[in-house]
Amino acid sequence: MKELRAYRFEIVLGTLIFLVLGPLMATILGVDIRFLNLFGLSLLSLASLIMAIRKVPRLFTGILGFLTLLLVWSEFLYSNEPTISKLRMWSMLGLYSSLAYLLVRNFLDTPEVSPRMISGAVSGFILIGFLGGVLFELLNSFQEGAFLIKSNSGGYDLYYYSFISMMTVGYGDIIPLSGAAKSLTVILSLSGQLYMTIGIASFVGKYLNSFSKTT
């Protein structure tokens, strides 16, 4: 476990990239996207067990990871149960929030630029996208017609919309219709830009600080 914890940021980053590339990999490999999502979410849930160093955050994140793992598999086995789906969304919301907090805090607290810090910073940015995706998914489950999706390709759509909103791309293939959906889209767009601004400023500050120590 200690050996895995030393590479926890790289493991989380690799798992998140796997989840982002899920539909592309499913097309290339000719497999059902549900199996890849199940595998990726299971890996992320297990990775959460090694993420935190301190005892209390580790216990909290571990419980959320175990609960998410249980609900992800339950939803896969009982796909027609809306209650399980909503519980899975809430559990994922808690897990993503916890992991994002740990990654962003580590990124801001680390005094010098390093590959591990960069992995954590990139993972934090990707997690904001997943956090927005599960929020959109929750909103869409409680408020029918919150979004207009022109070409529905499955459960990945709202996560895709989250990422393009966070990066302020906006292709127009998914349109927020309700006031809550529009408000959440604005918040996510601002969050993505603030993260980038603060992240770049922090990188420059840490680099200059490291450079001044060596001269």
Mean pLDDT by 10 residues, the chain (215 residues): 69 88 87 83 80 68 85 84 89 88 78 77 89 92 85 78 87 88 92 84 72 60
Q: What's residue 183's pLDDT?
A: 94
Q: What's residue 56's pLDDT?
A: 61
- Beta-ladder partners of 175: 148
Print the SS3 string covering the chain: CHHHHCCHHHHHHHHHHHHHCHHHHHHHHCCCHHHHHHHHHHHHHHHHHHCCCCHHHHHHHHHHHHHHHHHHHHHHHCCCCHHHHHHHHHHHHHHHHHHHHHHHHHHHHCCCCCHHHHHHHHHHHHHHHHHHHHHHHHHHHHCCCCEEECCCCCCCHHHHHHHHHHCCCCCCCEEECCHHHHHHHHHHHHHHHHHHHHHHHHHHHHHHHHHHHHC
Neighbours of 160 (CB within 10 A): 18
Report pTM: 0.86
CATH number of 2-208: 1.10.287.70
β-strands 147-149, 174-176: how paired?
antiparallel
Q: Which amino acid is at 178?
A: S
